[in-house]
Amino acid sequence: MLKTLLILCGSLLLCEGGLVKIPLIKFVEEKNLSHELQKLQIKFNITDIATMPPKYHYLDFSFYGKITIGTPPQDFLVLFDTGSHLLWVPLKTYTLDNEDFGRHHQYDPEKSQTYQLNGQPFFMIYESGYLSGHLVEDTVSLAGKEIQNVTFGVATYRPDATFRYAPYDGVMGMSFFNSSLHYAQPIFYDLMKQHKLEENVFSFYYLRNGSTRLGGELTLGGINPDHFEGQLHYVNISRKYHWQFEVESAHVNKIQVCKKCQVIADTGCNGIGLPRDDYHRVNRAIGATIDPETYQFVVDCNKINQLPEITFKIGDGIFTLSGQDYIKRLNNRCVSGFHNIGSAKFWILGDLFIGKYYTVFDFDKSRVGFAKTKQNIQITI
């Protein structure tokens, strides 16, 4: 099935009018909240993130797209992650423990004419294990747009509990670069350095509605006005490390739950991450109660349409999420999409928000833009 989806996705890649358009494949996944929080802890260096019972799961959409690496090209399905910097994929090792990577596509340097060894190790620690490997260089192609000499990671070991059953092969980081902290430049920096795009801008469109596997589009080089309605509202980056900006305020009904909060737009986060006090404040404001079995906030599934909206004032725009937007389901349980990220000093706006609002990441002007997503259209081929 995954091979078929890669072929389908590959057949739809477009590069026209200076825009590079990468269709995104939509999966409905059963997520383990403990593992999702571990990933956030690593990305954002949160030392005391909440620990969750391993049995706590929920259903949510995830969005992945195709890239190719090497000459001739090798296909990979990756998570495009604005919350991290490194591109990494599994390495083919020809050893008995190669089963660590299960059914995922694995990079084979012996089959690439443009492969170069870098050799620097990389290492990421998770509660369920560690992701490790070394850096290499090769050609990477995004919708037919070739980028030469990209430095990326090839993983030789990863924690099964966190990654083994994920539908994607690897991750393509799209955050800002910090030479003192990061292993290699994000691939978007290579695109800019090699002058591959008309504008140093990328934008995400997620199609959360409908049953189609085509779940949206990543546009490189600008924006696609077919995917949003109304005006784009921009806000300046407040810290050029993550895609971090200030939200002037957020309210649930008339209860203010945020005032001049620092927020990070993160396509690698499924829900909305909140510091511990805000997590309790927001969930109580929407009327959620603690489930004694999982210690998570839940609501009555029959009353989702009656839940209050949460309203954000970002720049000169007003953005709202309804109960239908921020509640997740699994079987007969309806759980809050607001997650506890411990002592963090910022909020994380993940797919729950980006799925409703077309999101533009503008390197040239150091800003993020939002507009209401058109949910009733398909990707134009």
Give the span between the Cα atoms of 70 and 90, in whole angstroms.
14
The last residue of a domain, from among 205, 237, 257: 205
Residue 136 phi/psi, 5° resolution?
A: -135, 175
279 and 326 share a domain?
A: yes
For residues 31 and 259, the model is more confident at 259
10-14, 277-281, 308-312, 342-346: the lowest-pLDDT one? 10-14
Nearest to 19 by CA among 200, 270, 181: 200
255-264, 277-286, 291-300, 364-373: the lowest-pLDDT one? 291-300
200 and 233 share a domain?
A: no
Residue 8 has pLDDT above 90, yes or no: no
29 and 178 share a domain?
A: yes
Q: What is the mean pLDDT of residues 117-125?
A: 86
Give the span between the Cα atoms of 354 and 375, in whole angstroms.
12
Residue 125 has pLDDT above 80, yes or no: no
The runs of H, that is alpha helices, within 58-183 are none
Residue 9 has pLDDT above 60, yes or no: no
> What is the pLDDT of the chain when averaged over all its residues?
85
Residue 40 has pLDDT above 80, yes or no: no
Percentage of residues in the chain having pLDDT higher than 90: 58
- Give me the number of domains the chain comprises: 2
pLDDT at 309: 97
In a domain, 217, yes or no: no
Tokens 């990863």 appear where?
158
Six-digit token string for 174:
């799209």
Q: Say which residues have a Cβ less than 8 Å from residue 43's Cβ, sequence separation at least 6.
A: 83, 84, 266, 268
Q: Give the confidence band of 166 by pLDDT, cuts at 50, 70, 90.
A: confident
Q: What is the mean pLDDT of residues 29-42?
A: 71
Six-digit token string for 328:
């997740």
315 and 180 share a domain?
A: no
Q: Say which residues have a Cβ less than 8 Å from residue 17's Cβ, sequence separation at least 6.
A: none
178 and 265 share a domain?
A: no
Q: What is the mean pLDDT of residues 229-241?
A: 94
Give the span between the Cα atoms of 373 and 243, in whole angstroms.
20
In a domain, 214, yes or no: no
pLDDT at 129: 57
Q: Say which residues have a Cβ less than 8 Å from residue 278's Cβ, sequence separation at least 6.
A: 257, 258, 261, 347
The runs of H, that is alpha helices, within the chain are 2-11, 33-44, 187-193, 276-285, 323-326, 351-354
pLDDT at 59: 65
- Domain extent, residue 102, equals 20-205
The last residue of a domain, from among 174, 205, 236: 205
Distances (CA, A) of 237 to 133, 201, 264, 323, 361: 32, 14, 9, 29, 10
pLDDT at 13: 43
CB burial of residue 36 (10 Å; 0-12, 13-18, 19+): buried
In a domain, 3, yes or no: no
pLDDT at 331: 74
Hey, which residues are catalytic here?
A: 81, 266
Give the span between the Cα atoms of 171 and 43, in whole angstroms.
12
CATH for 359: 2.40.70.10
